[in-house]
Amino acid sequence: MNRDIVRGIAEGNPLWVTPLALPIALFASQSWYMTALFALAVPLLVVLTHALAAFLERWFPPDYSFLVVLLTGGTLISLTELGLALAGIVLPTRGLYLFRSIAVSGVMLWPVREGRRREESATERISRATGLAVGFLLGLVILSVMRIPVIQGGFKPAHSVAFGLFLLALGRIVVNKVSVRGNSPEKERG
């Protein structure tokens, strides 16, 4: 299972997921406090969503797996956001939690699509989802470490979408290179 998680970091979070995760990462990488909050919450919610959705999918036809993940992710994200707002950790500034959360949980559909295509078991899919979560976490940390000091230094373009997209894509490419090098055929033979 650990090998599946490591492989999922590269395969489960491809470069095209970066623009989908960008709004979350740009919001989270504005301060160390928000980075820490999102670094804890997002990976936990991704894995929990897929574990719960894999359980719930037993009662639905296979064609509804995307819908189950969207609704499960949307509900968990909404409840978490509402809980954080009620606890005073984040400000309750926006309404329509569930609708926005369903859109955010669309980022999580990659493991479902891949799992259905490859006819993976629930355990393999959760490993792929864990890889997705770890990939997001690494991208967020790299983005925050590079972006927050630049923002604090007064560099105005650091707030732009283009700058964030560039840094996230750069982090994703580095993670892919490292994980591909770690799974080289020479290493497996030796």
Res 161: pLDDT: 72
- Please indicate whether residue 153 or residue 98 has the higher confidence score (pLDDT): 153
The structure tokens 């599946």 sit at: 4
C-alpha–C-alpha distance, residues 29 and 36, integer Å: 9
Of the pLDDT bands very low, low, confident and very high (cuts 50, 70, 90), residue 188 is very low
- Domain extents in the chain: 2-180
The residue-averaged pLDDT of 89-105 equals 60
Question: Which one, of 165, 103, 110, lies nearest residue 133 by Cα?
Answer: 110
For 33-51, give one letter per residue: b (16+ CB within 10 A) or e. Answer: ebbeebbeebbebbbbbbb
Q: How confident is the model at residue 103 (pLDDT cuts 50, 70, 90)?
A: low
3-state DSSP helix/strand/coil % of the chain, to nearest 5: 85, 0, 15
Q: What is the mean pLDDT of residues 15-29?
A: 65
Give the per-residue pLDDT at 155: 81
Cα separation values, 112 from 39, 40, 122, 177, Å: 22, 22, 10, 24
Say what the pLDDT of residue 46 is.
81
Confidence of residue 154 (pLDDT cuts 50, 70, 90): confident
Confidence of residue 92 (pLDDT cuts 50, 70, 90): low
